[in-house]
Structure 1
């Protein structure tokens, strides 16, 4: 009996063999014969390798997307080759970013602006660098910083597209708030929100054996009832002011408490209802927002805009409070009890579908109001929250600012506020990464000559500082009395806080005002002793006299370890010091 050779196998088995190979091995294997090449050129194979190789794809018109695009194999091959090339380019830029402090911000902007989500897989891999890597802390830290900027950039892009059109889907528009505030160590994606909504819709349908026999109103009531039974609607008066209730993804992904304020309750209800074939949208009802529900067939409420009337078959619900169906008359009766809503035109505007832009504006105002009138929720004190809200308000009010003086005044107020905040945080060494966002989206919106010139000057100063190399500070005769080195951790003798040394001066180089206010001259060794630049566990940067430093020979805390990557490569367990990544500035430490 003659032995079976590879090419004796049917095409189906050969195709199966290719499935167990990576794209590079498969391409080489396909060179064995015309038949193997033909099989290796199969559309499903190259689409699979694209899908398995990368989780994140920037949407581009000229390139297929493996999740929702059917294209010839040649295009999938090209898409695969393009992604390989892009990964190499992104990794090269990122490695350059780690190698020197010079042009770090410019390289971050290069990655975010020129590659966007095509860079995300590379960044996520760097975020999860193995513990034994030589520069593990630096890779994890800086990839997190770039990811954070990328998320904010993507959120602003989503809102920017909504200025002149009711786009994108509701969950994307509100999920952008969650995307914006993601910390520097997160690979969060809007797909998390979509999956939560998909799973919730599936659970509702699967739990009801008579689901397919229900009409649209019975389904709407069943959806509301199911969500209420699982504590997905409403919240108590005591917890109403919690900041996380304003962020839809944080509501849905919380392990225990999924309560939400009226805005988020209605949005979640409508997103789930739409997945289950019920035509439900948030409406503009004042106070507690409601949902408007249309029949599957018949006129839409949008079709009666000219007459300011609502079709008889359209109903409303307030899922935050109850599962009842509300008629048009019941809704108008409630509006009659409120000032300014007595005319057919004003009532119609309250009962019709709300533009997605209006819902984003409402969410931004809710966040700002919560910050002004309520104490911060634990873990939600970050300035990124207010920054996020202001950015949404500026983006959503831009188109309305041209329509009347009141909208224009609010728009300009929010613009002035975000520019003032940006300037203040830049002075403290924060938000420098977001210069790209301000340059691209805020600077063109400023009408005042003075304000525009001020922001342009700030951005120019940031870029100049980023492009200039830090002065080199070697160990020599002038600095031989500096006792401690970059990378050592210490405890402050007087105040007890712990930090790591990130720089030093042979004598106090602070301004005279700081020296007087800190009473440096009252120290036993005064201003002529060495002073050290410090990064503390609470993320603050400080300037500490040598006599107040007590070096520790113990492992750093988790907080300090997470921050250390900005200045250090890794933790040296044997010598109990951080290994410097700023040797272009302190070459001998």
Structure 2
């Protein structure tokens, strides 16, 4: 007797299959009969499965272009099966990452090679249910891999500048080609967001889509805007952005140096749209470019304006100019004003600041690479303010916080993004001695940060930094052998990281302690510092003085102690760092019972980072369950 599906037309069967999971179609539905099998092979069905099952795709697939091609030009089922295999492989690798520190970095790198093909799976793991046995560890390591993928996309965007700088532009090349430096402004600045994106929405493509959407909203609000002059259109946009609170800051005297104000993606997505002058000008310029305006940022000493140029041969008001290539310019201040800034006001402003160079030279569009560097300086200022201002931690957290409880994991990535920008926004000029020297200083800082905080980025250093290192550092006209390449030190550093990653460490057992010493506290306990009254977590211990390993991944040592007692490696709630070493006499363990909501706020804020060392919070015992059994098997 034929099944119900056998009695239905092919089109209806296909429609029904859209409500069945692809895996179910492959495993149980397709084998029902030859006819059902044939219907289940239809490219239209598998294109639907590809679109509905996966949101993110590696750029190698050119997925959006495939969607516009004729349906039978693409093997949609094979594409779906490829993604399915990659998800399965990523799942195996993530299990290994969570279970053991041996080959942890190698397994991370293998997932990173999938790029955005791994993002859907990783996002699901970042949000795994609280009931999972290893919920904290799984979330942390999934997010760590995803962060590295995000940084890879950000650096890939900045690497476009290197290709631009290596080109020889014709004299008649459009000014936009010179000023954009091979990058889109909102994507070049959005790269900073990628370093702190974690498991949130708002990547580079989404930032561009937001700008497109805002431009469409403006067009809808101004149906006759296309017939307006350049001046009219530019002023209308400035006024509309101010009326919708899309630019500027509320209470800048208190919030100016907040990290969130430096990030264009954050500004676009936030309900209040907070932004520094440079980000406000960038938002204005990016939207203006969608409205057929030639607009750029213009850095005027300590303030950033937007500058709009008229079409070649026409004035801002639509009149003909004497020269066919001549352009007029106008200034706007999207951060603080909704109207045009007269040129004489700009000149007076520069004179009061004591600008030594020609005003005409300053009153020009600023290239995108310099806007990126200026934004990097703003991020450093935010980081410095957080570190140097003496206030209670609760008052400082908003300066570095983007979402509730993420301040601790934004500290190092914020500075890391600034260092990467400094490295990538330098043109290849091997005959420029000063440029080579400055660049090498930036690379040394990058390698230090990478080695200490982001060893999972070895693949990025190999891909981008090492080739640049050899070009920048090599004396002009001299070829070097492989063993004396300037990048050898960086490659040796990476090799050392991978050697440590592949080797198991001797565990520290309480049953083998010598000298009558007794380790009182255990890995996973929450404590209060007796002297400074802050909370922290115990990550490891040693009885060999503070020069002992403490079970850290990098084997960092500390100066010897003259007073022999157990020392503990700890993560503390003051800065989220896991490199604090505290003597036993200064630790007072605090007992908490219940869910994570009973923990002190500064410990709850560390939860995204705690998964580096712990599987979950044990609400009955009041401790974090260790994921360091290889190093401390008795804890």
TM over 0.5: yes
Matched, 1:565 2:611: yes
- Partner Cα distance (2:382, 2:372) in 1: 15
Among 522, 528, 533, the residue aligned to 2:569 = 533
Distance 1:30 1:562, change over 3 A: closer
1:510 is aligned to: 547
Tell whether 2:497 aligns with 1:459: no
C-alpha change, 1:50 and 1:326, in structure 2 (3 Å) is same
Alpha-carbon distance, 1:331 to partner = 9.0
Work out whether 1:19 is the aligned partner of 2:34.
Answer: no
Question: Residue 501 of structure 1 corresponds to which residue in structure 2?
Answer: 538
Q: Which moved more, 1:191-200 or 1:126-135?
A: 191-200
Alignment-derived partner of residue 524 in structure 1: none
TM-superposed CA distance for 1:134, in Å, is 0.9
Q: Report the Cα offset of residue 211 of structure 1.
A: 4.6
Matched, 1:318 2:364: no
State whether structure 2 residue 47 is matched by structure 1 residue 47: yes
After superposition, the Cα gap between the structure-2 partners of 1:550 and 1:81, relative to the gap in structure 1 and judged at 3 Å, is same
Q: Which residue of 1 aligns with 2:403?
A: none
Q: What is the CA deviation profile of residues 248-304 of structure 1, one whole-angstrom value per residue up to 9, with x for unaligned ones? A: 112222333x343343223212222333x3233316564434333445x98999xxx
Between the aligned partners of 2:87 and 2:39, the Cα distance in structure 1 is 27
Match of 2:628 among 561, 578, 582: 582
Say if 1:569 and 1:246 are closer, same or farther in 2 by CA, change over 3 A: closer
3-state SS of the aligned residue for 2:569?
A: strand
Deviations 1:309-339 (A, max 9, x none): 7745654342425555689999999999965
Q: Which residue of 2 aligns with 1:75?
A: 75
Q: Distance in 2 between matches of 1:331 and 1:144?
A: 46
Q: Displacement, 1:100?
A: 0.9
| 2:425 corresponds to | 396
Shift of 1:198: 3.2
Q: Is the 8 A contact 1:300 1:311 kept in 2?
A: no
Judge conservation of contact 2:305–2:333 (CA < 8 Å) in 1: no
Which of the numbers 394, 419, 437 marks the counterpart of 2:460?
437
Give how far 1:566 is off: 1.2
Name the residue aligned to 1:153.
152
3-state SS of paired residue (1:501):
strand
Name the counterpart of 2:239: 225
Q: Which SS does the other structure have where 1:587 is aligned? A: coil
Residue 421 of structure 1, CA deviation = 5.6
CA contact under 8 A between 2:423 and 2:443: conserved in structure 1?
A: no
Question: Structure 2 CA distance, aligned partners of 1:188 and 1:547?
Answer: 46
Q: 1:290 to 1:97 in 2, by over 3 A?
A: same
- From 280, 286, 298, the counterpart of 1:265: 280
- The reply to whether residue 169 of structure 1 matches residue 207 of structure 2 is no
Aligned length: 557
CA distance in 2, matches of 1:509, 1:365: 37
Provide the C-alpha distance between the structure 1 equivalents of 2:606 and 2:547, rounded to a whole number of angstroms. 25
Alignment pair present for 1:423 and 2:485: no
Of 555-564 and 17-26, deviating more is: 555-564
CA displacement, residues 129-181 of structure 1 (integer Å, 9 cap, x when unaligned): 11111111110111121122221121111111231234343221111111123
Q: Of 371, 375, 388, which residue of structure 2 is paired with 1:359?
A: 371
CA contact (8 A) 2:416 2:449 kept: no
Match of 2:170 in 1: none
Who is 1:552 aligned against? 590
Distance 1:478 1:67, change over 3 A: same
Contact 1:317–1:324 under 8 Å retained in 2: no
Query: Any conservation in 2 of the 1:155–1:180 contact (CA below 8 Å)?
Result: yes
1:212, 1:316 → 2: CA distance?
19
Query: Aligned with 1:197: secondary structure?
Result: helix
5+ residue gaps in structure 2? 165-180, 317-321, 390-395, 401-409, 475-483, 549-556, 594-598
Normalised TM-score (structure 2): 0.76
Aligned counterpart, 1:468: 503
Q: Is the 8 A contact 1:423 1:458 kept in 2?
A: no
Q: How far apart, in 2, do the equivalents of 1:473 and 1:31 lie?
A: 55
Distance 1:86 1:4 in 2: 34
User: 5+ residue gaps in structure 1?
Assistant: 302-307, 522-526
Report if the CA contact (8 A) 1:505-1:530 is conserved: yes
Q: Map 1:107-126 onto structure 2 (within 5 A).
A: 107-112=107-112, 114-126=113-125
Quick one: structure 1 residues 379 and 315, their matched pair in 2 at CA, closer, same or farther if it must change by over 3 Å? closer
For residues 213 and 359 of structure 2, the distance between their equivalents in structure 1, rounded to whole angstroms, comes to: 42
1:89-488 matches, within 5 Å, as 89-112=89-112, 114-165=113-164, 166-183=181-198, 186=200, 188-208=202-222, 210-211=224-225, 214=228, 217-235=231-249, 238=253, 240-256=256-272, 258-275=273-290, 277-282=291-296, 286-287=300-301, 288-295=304-311, 311=325, 315-320=329-334, 322=337, 340-341=357-358, 351=364, 355-368=367-380, 378-380=398-400, 382-399=411-428, 401-402=429-430, 405=432, 409-410=434-435, 412-420=437-445, 422-423=447-448, 426=451, 429-446=452-469, 447=473, 452-478=487-513, 481-488=518-525
Q: Give the superposition deviation at 1:570.
A: 1.4
1:498: how far off?
A: 2.6
SS of alignment partner, residue 533 of structure 1: strand
Instruction: Note the C-alpha offset of 1:379.
Output: 3.2
State the alpha-carbon separation in 2 of the partners of residues 35 and 513 from structure 1: 71
Q: Secondary structure at the match of 1:164?
A: helix
Tell me the distance in 1 between the aligned counterparts of 2:13 and 2:450: 60
SS at match of 2:620: coil
Q: Is this contact kept in 2: 1:204–1:223, CA < 8 A?
A: yes
Asked whether the 8 Å contact 1:241–1:370 carries over to 2, the reply is yes
Residues 496-519 of structure 1: per-residue CA shift (max 9 Å, x gap): 333333222345352798345xxx
Q: Which TM-score applies when normalising by structure 1? A: 0.81
